[in-house]
């Protein structure tokens, strides 16, 4: 079958060099049509010489993995001076014939070259279409394709390392080992039911029970580390709380290093929640500034207070800002009540003023780390950074021996498989006949296949690739 040839800009816009990528059966021919060697160009007019014919077979005749210096022309006129990379199937990213044109990096030039390529027979690639082809052509599985996206969007070492591990296929292998275990045992049960004379199901159910328990432990381990991994790579959902005027918005601005939130000496300045992403050391915080929590009759402010409480309830981490230049009051006591079962840190803010509330005053009510802090003098910034980094990045995880789920889609598939395994375990305990087991075993087998894509529907696959960026 002749595959449609696609093209797209593969580089980020701007930068010194731009990359236009072409993939498909006509990639070589299209490139041949628009490529000229230096000797074919009249440099004084920036046009091809008069008697020059395009050599459509030029790249078909070259070896794979070779680089060619020359020019791209559009209707005889030079568009840019380029390098062309040739990768012949199956030795390419998509496993199809691939041409990459390295051009000068300006956005106008890059777009013009892409237009020239499209004019000569390629179709504009959809987001993720190159990687989708790598998937359909069997070079990578679905989890690995998703890892490519994770890799591109990673913002810290943790995200990068776990994406690389997934791209290498570590998650896929972990899941596939469990699937093969289940498949083997399903096969055994069916064979034994068909041919009871040669297969003994006598003690099999006890063996099966042990095996499934082990598989379940392995899957549970993935689920247990999921939140941890999500926080490290996508950011810790962090809410700044405190009573009005404590200095919450000032802290937001200080961490962001810009005047993002409105700060005034009027209590009740912040009404709505404000979300921003900041990096503190190697930790990413998805930071939320909230309205000061206290009793109020103001309708609008009250909505803000309720939102603050709601956010504080469902976040990963709280920064509780205390105005240490004032006595703790009812508002603080109300906040401390809300925070009891949560994870967070206390900033004893306004340390540049006369301290009235001490670390001791507060720690006897809330057993959290206390940092003496000032938005004015930046006292405590280093301690805050260290505390957050130590709390969330402790015990360097070795990626060689640990596998991580990096997406909610994977977590859901694993949890569903655990449920199916539980159903089998229950059936064993209930002394049900063996053919009952296979239904749930099949569910677990198929459910886990969603992760590497073995059992993923076309809709699911399309949905995943839609999230990709252009040119990938």
Ligand X SMILES: Nc1nc2c(ncn2[C@@H]2O[C@H](COP(=O)(O)OP(=O)(O)OP(=O)(O)O)[C@@H](O)[C@H]2O)c(=O)[nH]1
Ligand Y SMILES: Nc1nc2c(c(=O)[nH]1)N(C=O)[C@@H](CNc1ccc(C(=O)N[C@@H](CCC(=O)O)C(=O)O)cc1)CN2
Contact track, ligand Y, 437-456, x by CB under 6 A: --------------------
Minimum distance from residue 391 beta carbon to ligand X (Å): 23
| Distance, CA of 199 to CA of 243 (rounded, Å) | 71
**Contacts (CB under 6 A) with ligand Y, residues 72-101:** 87, 90-93, 95, 100
Do residues 407 and 146 touch, judged by C-beta distance below 8 A?
yes
Residue 443 interface partner, choices ligand X, ligand Y, Mg ion, none, CB cut-off 5-8 Å depending on type: none
Q: Which of 435, 396, 451, 456 is nearest to 219 (CA)?
A: 451
C-beta closer to ligand X: residue 5 or 245: 245
Minimum distance from residue 248 beta carbon to ligand X (Å): 3
Q: Pick from 34, 263, 315, 335: which binds ligand X (CB under 6 A)?
A: 263
Parallel/antiparallel/unpaired status of strands 236-241 and 283-289 = parallel
Size of the site for ligand X (CB under 6 A): 24
23 belongs to the binding site for ligand Y (CB under 6 A): no
C-beta closer to ligand Y: residue 90 or 187: 90
357 belongs to the binding site for ligand X (CB under 6 A): no
**Contacts (CB under 6 A) with ligand X, residues 228-247:** 242, 244-247
**Contacts (CB under 5 A) with Mg ion, residues 243-272:** 248-249, 269-270
Q: Which of 3, 13, 4, 5 is nearest to 470 (CA)?
A: 13
Minimum distance from residue 397 beta carbon to ligand Y (Å): 25
Q: Pick from 375, 406, 420, 452: which binds ligand X (CB under 6 A)?
A: 375
Q: How open is the CA angle 147-150-151, to the nearest 5 degrees?
A: 85
| Distance, CA of 128 to CA of 406 (rounded, Å) | 19
Instruction: Candidates 131-139, 227-235, 241-249, 391-399: pick the segment binding Mg ion (CB under 5 A).
Output: 241-249
Residue 93 interface partner, choices Mg ion, ligand X, ligand Y, none, CB cut-off 5-8 Å depending on type: ligand Y
Q: Which residues pair with 48 in a beta bridge?
A: 41
Beta carbons within 8 Å of 235's beta carbon, 6+ residues apart = 277, 284, 285, 286
Query: Which H or E run includes 102?
Result: strand 98-104
- Give the C-alpha distances (Å, rounded to integers) separating 470 from 11, 21, 130, 182: 9, 11, 9, 38
Minimum distance from residue 263 beta carbon to ligand X (Å): 4
- Residue 351 annotated as lining a ligand binding site: no
Residue 376 interface partner, choices ligand Y, Mg ion, ligand X, none, CB cut-off 5-8 Å depending on type: ligand X
Do residues 235 and 275 touch, judged by C-beta distance below 8 A?
no
Residue keyed to tokens 């959290």: 368
C-beta closer to Mg ion: residue 272 or 435: 272
Do residues 103 and 109 touch, judged by C-beta distance below 8 A?
yes
Q: Which of 78, 79, 89, 70 is nearest to 32 (CA)?
A: 70
Minimum distance from residue 358 beta carbon to ligand Y (Å): 55
Q: What are phi and psi of 262, to 5 degrees?
A: -75, 130
Minimum distance from residue 283 beta carbon to ligand X (Å): 22
Parallel/antiparallel/unpaired status of strands 283-289 and 41-42 = unpaired
- Residue 291 annotated as lining a ligand binding site: yes
C-beta closer to ligand X: residue 83 or 359: 359
Contact track, ligand X, 266-295, x by CB under 6 A: -xxxx--------------------xx---
Quick check: helix, strand or coil at residue 137? Answer: coil
Q: Is the peptide bond before 90 cis (omega within 30 degrees of 0)?
A: yes
| Distance, CA of 411 to CA of 222 (rounded, Å) | 8
| Distance, CA of 357 to CA of 348 (rounded, Å) | 8
C-beta closer to ligand X: residue 21 or 243: 243
133 belongs to the binding site for ligand Y (CB under 6 A): no
139 belongs to the binding site for ligand Y (CB under 6 A): yes
Residue 100 interface partner, choices ligand X, Mg ion, ligand Y, none, CB cut-off 5-8 Å depending on type: ligand Y
457 belongs to the binding site for ligand Y (CB under 6 A): no
- Residue 148 annotated as lining a ligand binding site: no
Residue 166 interface partner, choices Mg ion, ligand X, ligand Y, none, CB cut-off 5-8 Å depending on type: none
Query: In this structure, what token pair is assigned to residue 128?
Result: 């993720």
- Residue 312 annotated as lining a ligand binding site: no
**With the CA atoms of 314, 317, 321 and 324 taken in that order, what torsion angle do they form, in degrees rounded to the nearest 10?**
130
Binding annotation? 21, 100, 139, 245-250, 264-270, 289-292, 472
Give the interface with ligand Y as residue ranges (CB under 6 A).
87, 90-93, 95, 100, 139
Q: Which residues are annotated as a binding site for Mg(2+)?
A: 249, 270
């Amino acid at each position: 079958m002749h595959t449609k040839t696609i093209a797209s800009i593969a580089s980020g816009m701007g930068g010194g060099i731009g990359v236009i990528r072409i993939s498909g059966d006509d990639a070589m021919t299209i490139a041949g049509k628009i490529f000229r060697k230096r000797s074919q160009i009249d440099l004084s007019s920036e046009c091809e010489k008069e008697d020059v014919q395009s050599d459509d077979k030029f790249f078909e005749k070259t070896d794979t993995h070779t680089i060619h210096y020359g020019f791209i022309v559009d209707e005889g006129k030079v568009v840019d001076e380029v390098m062309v990379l040739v990768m012949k199937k199956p030795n390419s990213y998509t496993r199809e014939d691939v041409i990459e044109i390295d051009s000068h990096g300006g956005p106008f030039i890059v777009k013009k070259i892409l237009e020239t390529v499209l004019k000569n027979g390629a179709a504009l690639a959809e987001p993720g279409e190159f990687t989708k082809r790598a998937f359909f052509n069997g070079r990578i599985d679905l989890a690995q394709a998703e890892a490519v996206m994770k890799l591109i969007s990673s913002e810290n070492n943790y995200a990068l390392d776990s994406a690389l591990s997934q791209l290498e296929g570590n998650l896929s292998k972990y899941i596939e080992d469990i699937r093969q275990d289940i498949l083997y045992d399903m096969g055994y049960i069916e064979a034994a039911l068909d041919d009871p004379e040669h297969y003994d199901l006598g003690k099999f159910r006890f063996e099966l029970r042990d095996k499934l328990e082990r598989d379940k432990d392995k899957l549970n381990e993935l689920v247990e580390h999921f939140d941890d991994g999500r926080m490290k790579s996508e950011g810790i959902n962090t809410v700044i709380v405190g009573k009005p005027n404590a200095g919450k918005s000032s802290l937001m601005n200080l961490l962001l290093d810009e005047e993002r939130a409105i700060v005034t000496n009027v209590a009740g300045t912040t009404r709505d929640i404000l979300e921003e992403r900041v990096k503190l050391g190697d930790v990413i915080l998805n930071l939320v500034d909230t309205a000061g929590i206290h009793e109020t009759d103001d309708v609008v402010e009250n909505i803000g207070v309720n939102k603050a409480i709601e956010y504080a309830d469902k976040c990963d981490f709280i920064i509780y800002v205390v105005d240490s230049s004032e006595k703790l009051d009812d508002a603080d006591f109300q906040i401390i009540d809300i925070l009891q079962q949560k994870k967070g840190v206390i900033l004893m803010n306004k340390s540049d003023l006369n301290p009235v509330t001490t670390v001791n005053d507060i720690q006897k009510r809330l057993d959290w780390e206390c940092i003496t802090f000032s938005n004015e003098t930046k006292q405590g910034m280093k301690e805050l950074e260290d505390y957050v980094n130590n709390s969330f990045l402790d015990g360097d995880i070795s990626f060689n021996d640990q596998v991580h789920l990096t997406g909610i889609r994977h977590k859901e598939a694993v949890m569903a498989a655990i449920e199916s395994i539980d159903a089998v375990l229950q059936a064993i305990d209930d002394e049900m006949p063996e053919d009952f087991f296979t239904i749930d075993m099949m569910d677990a087998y198929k459910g886990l296949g969603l992760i590497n894509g073995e059992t993923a529907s076309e809709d699911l696959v399309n949905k995943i690739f839609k999230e990709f960026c252009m040119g990938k």
